[in-house]
Chain A
Amino acid sequence: DADVTQTPRNRITKTGKRIMLECSQTKGHDRMYWYRQDPGLGLRLIYYSFDVKDINKGEISDGYSVSRQAQAKFSLSLESAIPNQTALYFCASSGTDNTGELFFGEGSRLTVL
Protein backbone atom coordinates (compact mmCIF):
# COMPACT_ATOMS: atom_id res chain seq x y z
CA ASP A 1 0.00 0.00 0.00
CA ALA A 2 1.09 3.55 -0.69
CA ASP A 3 2.51 5.56 2.19
CA VAL A 4 0.55 8.66 1.14
CA THR A 5 -2.90 8.02 -0.29
CA GLN A 6 -5.07 10.56 -2.05
CA THR A 7 -8.74 10.24 -2.90
CA PRO A 8 -10.28 10.69 -5.37
CA ARG A 9 -7.61 10.19 -8.03
CA ASN A 10 -9.76 11.84 -10.66
CA ARG A 11 -12.75 14.10 -10.33
CA ILE A 12 -14.79 16.09 -12.80
CA THR A 13 -17.12 18.68 -11.35
CA LYS A 14 -19.03 21.79 -12.29
CA THR A 15 -18.43 25.42 -11.46
CA GLY A 16 -19.81 26.34 -8.04
CA LYS A 17 -19.70 22.85 -6.56
CA ARG A 18 -17.95 22.09 -3.29
CA ILE A 19 -15.13 19.60 -3.61
CA MET A 20 -13.05 17.83 -1.00
CA LEU A 21 -9.79 16.07 -1.70
CA GLU A 22 -8.61 13.74 1.01
CA CYS A 23 -5.15 12.63 1.99
CA SER A 24 -3.93 10.11 4.51
CA GLN A 25 -0.43 8.91 5.34
CA THR A 26 0.92 5.90 7.15
CA LYS A 27 4.46 7.21 7.69
CA GLY A 28 3.75 8.67 11.12
CA HIS A 29 4.77 12.11 9.89
CA ASP A 30 3.68 15.24 11.70
CA ARG A 31 3.95 17.52 8.68
CA MET A 32 1.57 17.50 5.74
CA TYR A 33 1.19 19.66 2.64
CA TRP A 34 -1.04 20.38 -0.33
CA TYR A 35 0.54 21.45 -3.62
CA ARG A 36 -1.02 22.29 -6.94
CA GLN A 37 0.64 21.53 -10.28
CA ASP A 38 -0.19 23.28 -13.52
CA PRO A 39 1.60 22.69 -16.83
CA GLY A 40 4.70 24.88 -17.05
CA LEU A 41 4.27 26.28 -13.53
CA GLY A 42 5.77 23.53 -11.42
CA LEU A 43 4.38 22.88 -7.95
CA ARG A 44 2.90 25.68 -5.89
CA LEU A 45 2.12 25.36 -2.19
CA ILE A 46 -1.51 25.81 -1.16
CA TYR A 47 -1.50 25.00 2.57
CA TYR A 48 0.72 23.19 5.02
CA SER A 49 0.42 21.86 8.55
CA PHE A 50 3.30 21.07 10.88
CA ASP A 51 1.09 19.37 13.44
CA VAL A 52 -2.59 18.76 14.14
CA LYS A 53 -3.15 22.21 15.62
CA ASP A 54 -1.05 24.07 13.06
CA ILE A 55 -2.38 25.32 9.70
CA ASN A 56 -0.48 27.72 7.45
CA LYS A 57 -1.30 29.37 4.15
CA GLY A 58 1.00 28.80 1.25
CA GLU A 59 1.63 30.76 -1.90
CA ILE A 60 -1.83 30.24 -3.44
CA SER A 61 -4.37 29.65 -0.65
CA ASP A 62 -7.19 31.85 -1.99
CA GLY A 63 -10.24 29.77 -2.87
CA TYR A 64 -9.08 26.79 -0.80
CA SER A 65 -9.42 25.63 2.80
CA VAL A 66 -7.97 22.70 4.69
CA SER A 67 -8.71 20.54 7.68
CA ARG A 68 -6.22 18.49 9.68
CA GLN A 69 -8.49 15.89 11.19
CA ALA A 70 -5.71 13.80 12.71
CA GLN A 71 -1.97 13.38 12.46
CA ALA A 72 -2.48 11.10 9.49
CA LYS A 73 -5.23 13.01 7.65
CA PHE A 74 -5.20 16.33 5.82
CA SER A 75 -8.03 17.32 3.51
CA LEU A 76 -8.28 20.13 0.97
CA SER A 77 -11.60 21.77 0.11
CA LEU A 78 -12.70 23.99 -2.71
CA GLU A 79 -15.80 25.71 -1.36
CA SER A 80 -17.04 26.86 -4.76
CA ALA A 81 -14.97 25.41 -7.57
CA ILE A 82 -14.06 27.53 -10.59
CA PRO A 83 -12.52 26.44 -13.91
CA ASN A 84 -9.07 27.89 -13.17
CA GLN A 85 -8.82 25.47 -10.26
CA THR A 86 -8.53 22.68 -12.81
CA ALA A 87 -5.16 21.16 -11.96
CA LEU A 88 -3.29 18.20 -10.53
CA TYR A 89 -3.24 18.32 -6.75
CA PHE A 90 -0.61 16.62 -4.63
CA CYS A 91 -0.56 15.83 -0.97
CA ALA A 92 2.78 15.22 0.70
CA SER A 93 4.15 14.52 4.15
CA SER A 94 7.47 14.96 5.87
CA GLY A 95 9.08 14.07 9.15
CA THR A 96 10.54 16.40 11.74
CA ASP A 97 14.17 15.71 10.90
CA ASN A 98 14.43 19.21 9.44
CA THR A 99 15.55 18.00 6.02
CA GLY A 100 12.17 18.83 4.56
CA GLU A 101 12.24 15.70 2.41
CA LEU A 102 8.76 15.12 1.06
CA PHE A 103 6.85 11.92 0.38
CA PHE A 104 4.14 12.46 -2.21
CA GLY A 105 0.83 10.86 -3.00
CA GLU A 106 -0.04 9.92 -6.56
CA GLY A 107 -2.08 13.05 -7.13
CA SER A 108 -5.73 14.00 -7.60
CA ARG A 109 -6.63 15.29 -11.03
CA LEU A 110 -9.47 17.79 -10.76
CA THR A 111 -11.38 19.18 -13.72
CA VAL A 112 -13.83 22.00 -13.16
CA LEU A 113 -16.23 22.57 -16.06
Chain B
Amino acid sequence: QVQLQESGPGLVKPSGTLSLTCAVSGGSISSSNWWSWVRQPPGKGLEWIGEIYHSGSTNYNPSLKSRVTISVDKSKNQFSLKLSSVTAADTAVYYCARTHTYYYDSSGYPYLDYWGQGTLVTVSS
Protein backbone atom coordinates (compact mmCIF):
# COMPACT_ATOMS: atom_id res chain seq x y z
CA GLN B 1 0.00 0.00 0.00
CA VAL B 2 1.54 3.27 -1.14
CA GLN B 3 1.43 6.06 1.42
CA LEU B 4 2.30 9.72 0.97
CA GLN B 5 3.01 12.27 3.69
CA GLU B 6 3.41 16.01 3.22
CA SER B 7 5.63 18.08 5.47
CA GLY B 8 6.77 21.67 5.65
CA PRO B 9 6.08 25.05 7.29
CA GLY B 10 2.45 25.85 7.94
CA LEU B 11 3.02 29.60 7.74
CA VAL B 12 4.80 31.54 5.00
CA LYS B 13 5.23 35.29 4.72
CA PRO B 14 3.89 37.16 1.69
CA SER B 15 6.44 37.41 -1.14
CA GLY B 16 8.28 34.44 0.36
CA THR B 17 8.68 30.91 -0.97
CA LEU B 18 6.46 28.01 0.04
CA SER B 19 8.40 24.76 0.37
CA LEU B 20 6.85 21.34 0.94
CA THR B 21 8.11 17.78 0.77
CA CYS B 22 6.18 14.58 0.13
CA ALA B 23 7.63 11.36 1.51
CA VAL B 24 6.59 8.21 -0.33
CA SER B 25 6.45 4.87 1.48
CA GLY B 26 5.25 1.42 0.47
CA GLY B 27 6.54 1.90 -3.05
CA SER B 28 9.42 3.36 -5.02
CA ILE B 29 9.38 6.85 -6.40
CA SER B 30 11.34 5.39 -9.30
CA SER B 31 8.38 3.25 -10.37
CA SER B 32 6.53 4.00 -13.62
CA ASN B 33 4.41 6.74 -12.09
CA TRP B 34 4.40 10.48 -12.01
CA TRP B 35 4.02 12.36 -8.72
CA SER B 36 1.71 15.34 -8.38
CA TRP B 37 0.92 18.32 -6.20
CA VAL B 38 -2.69 19.52 -5.85
CA ARG B 39 -3.99 22.37 -3.70
CA GLN B 40 -7.34 23.42 -2.29
CA PRO B 41 -8.02 26.89 -0.88
CA PRO B 42 -10.28 26.83 2.20
CA GLY B 43 -13.84 26.10 1.17
CA LYS B 44 -12.97 25.92 -2.53
CA GLY B 45 -12.21 23.34 -5.20
CA LEU B 46 -9.13 21.43 -6.29
CA GLU B 47 -6.31 22.88 -8.40
CA TRP B 48 -3.59 20.71 -9.93
CA ILE B 49 -0.18 22.36 -9.55
CA GLY B 50 2.13 20.02 -11.42
CA GLU B 51 3.85 16.65 -11.55
CA ILE B 52 7.28 15.07 -11.79
CA TYR B 53 8.72 11.78 -13.02
CA HIS B 54 11.69 10.15 -11.32
CA SER B 55 13.84 11.17 -14.29
CA GLY B 56 13.20 14.79 -13.36
CA SER B 57 10.77 15.52 -16.18
CA THR B 58 8.01 17.88 -15.11
CA ASN B 59 4.64 19.19 -16.21
CA TYR B 60 3.18 22.32 -14.64
CA ASN B 61 -0.16 24.11 -14.53
CA PRO B 62 0.35 27.00 -16.96
CA SER B 63 -1.30 29.41 -14.53
CA LEU B 64 1.38 28.68 -11.90
CA LYS B 65 4.32 27.68 -14.07
CA SER B 66 6.33 30.87 -13.59
CA ARG B 67 6.38 30.39 -9.80
CA VAL B 68 6.53 26.60 -9.38
CA THR B 69 9.42 24.19 -9.13
CA ILE B 70 8.91 20.49 -8.43
CA SER B 71 11.94 18.32 -7.78
CA VAL B 72 12.63 14.70 -6.85
CA ASP B 73 15.11 13.06 -4.48
CA LYS B 74 15.29 9.39 -5.37
CA SER B 75 17.73 8.61 -2.54
CA LYS B 76 15.13 9.73 0.01
CA ASN B 77 12.11 8.47 -1.96
CA GLN B 78 10.51 11.89 -1.86
CA PHE B 79 9.58 14.84 -4.02
CA SER B 80 9.22 18.51 -3.27
CA LEU B 81 7.31 21.65 -4.19
CA LYS B 82 8.54 25.22 -4.20
CA LEU B 83 6.15 28.08 -4.93
CA SER B 84 7.71 31.52 -5.03
CA SER B 85 6.34 35.05 -4.56
CA VAL B 86 3.39 33.80 -2.54
CA THR B 87 0.36 35.91 -1.65
CA ALA B 88 -2.71 35.30 0.49
CA ALA B 89 -4.30 33.67 -2.57
CA ASP B 90 -1.83 30.79 -2.18
CA THR B 91 -3.27 29.89 1.23
CA ALA B 92 -4.55 26.35 0.80
CA VAL B 93 -4.36 22.74 1.82
CA TYR B 94 -1.59 21.23 -0.29
CA TYR B 95 -1.82 17.57 -1.24
CA CYS B 96 0.71 15.30 -2.85
CA ALA B 97 -0.60 12.43 -4.94
CA ARG B 98 0.52 9.62 -7.20
CA THR B 99 -0.30 10.02 -10.87
CA HIS B 100 -0.87 6.55 -12.21
CA THR B 101 -1.64 5.59 -15.78
CA TYR B 102 -3.40 2.28 -16.24
CA TYR B 103 -2.80 0.76 -19.64
CA TYR B 104 -5.35 -1.51 -21.24
CA ASP B 105 -5.93 -2.48 -24.84
CA SER B 106 -3.51 0.19 -26.15
CA SER B 107 -5.20 2.98 -24.19
CA GLY B 108 -3.83 4.81 -21.18
CA TYR B 109 -6.03 5.94 -18.30
CA PRO B 110 -4.33 8.57 -16.12
CA TYR B 111 -5.63 9.39 -12.67
CA LEU B 112 -4.55 10.33 -9.15
CA ASP B 113 -4.92 7.22 -7.03
CA TYR B 114 -2.97 7.69 -3.81
CA TRP B 115 -3.08 10.94 -1.88
CA GLY B 116 -1.40 12.37 1.19
CA GLN B 117 -3.57 13.65 4.02
CA GLY B 118 -2.84 17.25 3.04
CA THR B 119 -1.15 20.09 4.87
CA LEU B 120 -2.52 23.59 5.39
CA VAL B 121 -0.19 26.40 4.38
CA THR B 122 -1.21 29.90 5.37
CA VAL B 123 0.37 32.95 3.76
CA SER B 124 0.36 35.77 6.27
CA SER B 125 2.69 38.27 7.84
Chains A and B belong together in one complex: no
Binding site for A on B (CB under 8 A): none
Binding site for B on A (CB under 8 A): none
